[in-house]
Amino acid sequence: MSVEVERKFLCNADTLKTLEEIGVCVGQRQFQDQYFDTPVFDLTLNDMWLRKRKGCWELKCPTTAVNGTEETSGEQSKAAALCSRYKEITNLPDIQLRVKEVIKEDVDSETTEKISSQEDESWLGIMNLVCFAEFTTVRRSFTLEEEGVQIDLDQADFGYHVGEIEVLIPEGGDVQSALEKIERTAQKLGLTGHQRVEGKMHIYLKRNRPEHYEKLLSAHVL
Ligand code: V4E
């Protein structure tokens, strides 16, 4: 299991020029994401994001405090506030277990065993999960080799562009060092904003799922 530490940013022409000068472009790809939740938003109200991308299931969950998360100065905590950290689970039986713990639906253990061994998608129906968001992203990826960070420029099919600087670390790994790499990269790119930048999902829900969006805002998930 890994933890993704990332900072989103708005990429203007100057940022793009700098990125093309100092980064190495490692390719462009396109993928479709489908996100799932129960009709009463049990997962996302717990800041858990279940999605299918390129035929693979992924669950992003909040991380619990681990070593190295304590920022030691005001500047560091300001930089950390611009970043998000999520645990990424990609093993399907682990995803199903985690989802089962959170949803209010009563799924007995016999059923869980059955769904863990099934390759089909009947587990979605058993857990009352429905698709609430579906969109395609074109992503250009760069690396900044001296920092060990990846920088993605995403263009979603609903007309939103966003960049992200990201570092993947093992669970329990050095979050502080990941935050420092992200901060140094942001400085090299000349990023000056001090406000968190909205992700693709934020904009998607605001435009397409206002009831869901309002619930997540009220619960301080977005
Ligand atoms: C964690 C999360 C969501 C799931 C999608 O995460 P995100 O990193 O925005 O998508 P993407 O396509 O870049 O995934 P990757 O390819 O990097 O794995 S949707 C909303 N959240 C929560 C969230 C938040 N509260 N604030 C910010 C800045 N980002 C995400």
Q: What is the CATH number of the domain that holds 40?
A: 2.40.320.10
What pTM was estimated for this model as a whole? Answer: 0.90
Strands 56-62 and 83-89: antiparallel
Please tell me the residue having the least CA distance from ligand 1 atom 29. Answer: 199
Q: How many CB atoms are closer than 10 A to CB 104?
A: 8
Domain that holds residue 42: 2-218
Q: pLDDT by residue (tens digit) across 149-205?
A: 999 999 999 999 999 999 999 988 899 999 999 999 999 999 987 888 999 999 999
* Cα–Cα dist 14/87, whole Å: 32
Burial (Cβ within 10 Å: 0-12, 13-18, ≥19) of residue 43: buried
Quick check: 130 and 38 in contact, CB under 8 A? yes
**Closest ligand 1 atom, CA of 49?**
4
Give residue ranges with CB within 6 A of ligand 1. Answer: 8, 49, 60, 84, 86, 164, 196, 199-201, 222
Q: Which long-range contacts (CB under 8 A, 24 or more apart) does 105-109 make?
A: 105/38
Spatial separation of the C-alpha atoms in residues 55 and 190, rounded to whole Å: 37
Number of structural domains the chain divides into:
1
Asked if 85 contacts 63 with a C-beta cutoff of 8 angstroms, the reply is yes
pLDDT digits (tens, 9 = 90+) for 34-54: 999 999 999 999 999 999 999
**Does the ipTM surpass 0.85?**
yes
Nearest CA to ligand 1 atom 30: 199
Number of Cβ within 10 Å of residue 135's Cβ equals 18
